[in-house]
Amino acid sequence: MDYSKFDKMDISEIVDYVTATFHVPLDSLFKSAPDNISSLIKKYWKQYPKIVDLEKLFNEFKEKISEHMKKEDDVIFPAAIEYENINKDWKIDLTKITEENQEIINNTEMENDHEDFKKYLEDILELLKTCWMDGENISEFDEIKEDIKQIYDALVEHYDLEVRYLYPKWLELQEEIRKNIEVF
Ligand SMILES: [Fe+2]
Ligand SMILES: [Fe+2]
């Protein structure tokens, strides 16, 4: 993946990209995946009892990442875009630079979440591998494994964008705005 194009992108463009390529597709996958997992379990739990854990792991992952994405969609991304607009229009509203905003961007909670989500997917892949290796080559296991791998790759790319581009750009903007305010 060539990341250089993101250097030139505005915050709002990065937000649009992250939303379209990751948040929206993941939401729609969450609508179909639970049914696929349930039918896999129903079919194979006697043969591979460990497969039952897949439901719990996947549901936990789904719940936690949905909460994280909701926080980004509802609070973090709009706040970052707001900063960009303040900077562009130069209509400074000091109330927009709240301590709450600074806390959101400065804390490492969102970044730690990313690591937790990767771990969930690694555990799911490990579980599928164990079931798959125990028995004959079952194509449904392979299909789910491929889906999870795709989510994993998309997840890593999207975290890179948030952590390496979106958040640093936002921090830079905050500093720039603050510097300009001090001049007045
Ligand atoms: Fe995100
Ligand atoms: Fe995130």
Give whole-number Cα distances, 4 to 23, 77, 134, 169, in Å: 22, 21, 44, 14
| Tens digit of each residue's pLDDT (9 = 90 or more) over 136-163 | 667 887 888 888 888 888 888 888 888 8
Q: How many structural domains are present in the chain?
A: 1
Which domain range does residue 112 map to? 4-183
Task: Please tell me the distance between residue 156's alpha carbon and the centre of ligand 1 in angstroms.
Answer: 10
| Ion ligand 1: residues, Cβ under 5 Å | 72
What are the pLDDT digits (tens) for 40-79? Answer: 889 888 888 888 999 999 999 999 999 999 989 998 888 8
**pLDDT one-digit tens code per residue, 100-126:** 555 665 556 777 888 899 999 999 988
Rounded to the nearest angstrom, the distance between the alpha carbon of 93 and the centre of ligand 2 is: 27
Rounded to whole angstroms, the Cα distance separating 15 from 34 reads 27
Give the global pTM: 0.81
Work out whether the CA dihedral 89, 3, 114, 20 comes out positive or negative: positive
- The Å distance, Cα 27 to ligand 1 centre, comes to 12
How much distance in Å is there from the Cα of 96 to the middle of ligand 2? Answer: 22
